Chain A
Amino acid sequence: QSVLTQPPSVSAAPGQKVTISCSGSSSNIEINYVSWYQQLPGTAPKLLIYDNNKRPSGIPDRFSGSKSGTSATLGITGLQTGDEADYYCGTWDSSLSAGLFGGGTKLTVL
């Protein structure tokens, strides 16, 4: 059971929008930056969002991140079949002095 809680799965139709939540606590999300990763089957994770809401070069603006209190959210608009993947949130926990990942959310584009 992960300290960061994500929904196991989400789904939406092509072209639609989806959000993925990541719930933590006062020792992790509330006081540290959150990053988001996309993992396609059989590949290494890829950084989508860092510092809560920044996109690395090459990541389309269809992907967005936000944070409020002890929760963070990844948003994906204009869904494409190529977006089908597992998505993970990550942050540092200052009480545990350890890195944390959410349990992952499987996105299905119907």
Chain B
Amino acid sequence: DAKTTQPPSMDCAEGRAANLPCNHSTISGNEYVYWYRQIHSQGPQYIIHGLKNNETNEMASLIITEDRKSSTLILPHATLRDTAVYYCIVRGMEYGNKLVFGAGTILRVKS
């Protein structure tokens, strides 16, 4: 699976959009971009995934560049409860592939 690079930490004001970047320059054509988050002491929570098109669900939007070498997770209106570690993971599409978690980005939402 391709490696990802994320900033170690980011701050965001409550109510504003949080934009979390991820670089995955070695991604291959059959690999998806997944985002998970882990709120302190809880299990990782699935947020969103995409292959090459932008995706949106009730939690977030995922913007993937045309060359697929990077992506951005957008939380449109961050709240204090969005404070967590956010993981960007690249994963092959065959089922059964494990998730390889890096250090992620610590997002601190501040009032």
Are A and B subunits of one complex?
A: no
Residues of A within 8 A of B (CB): none
Residues of B within 8 A of A (CB): none
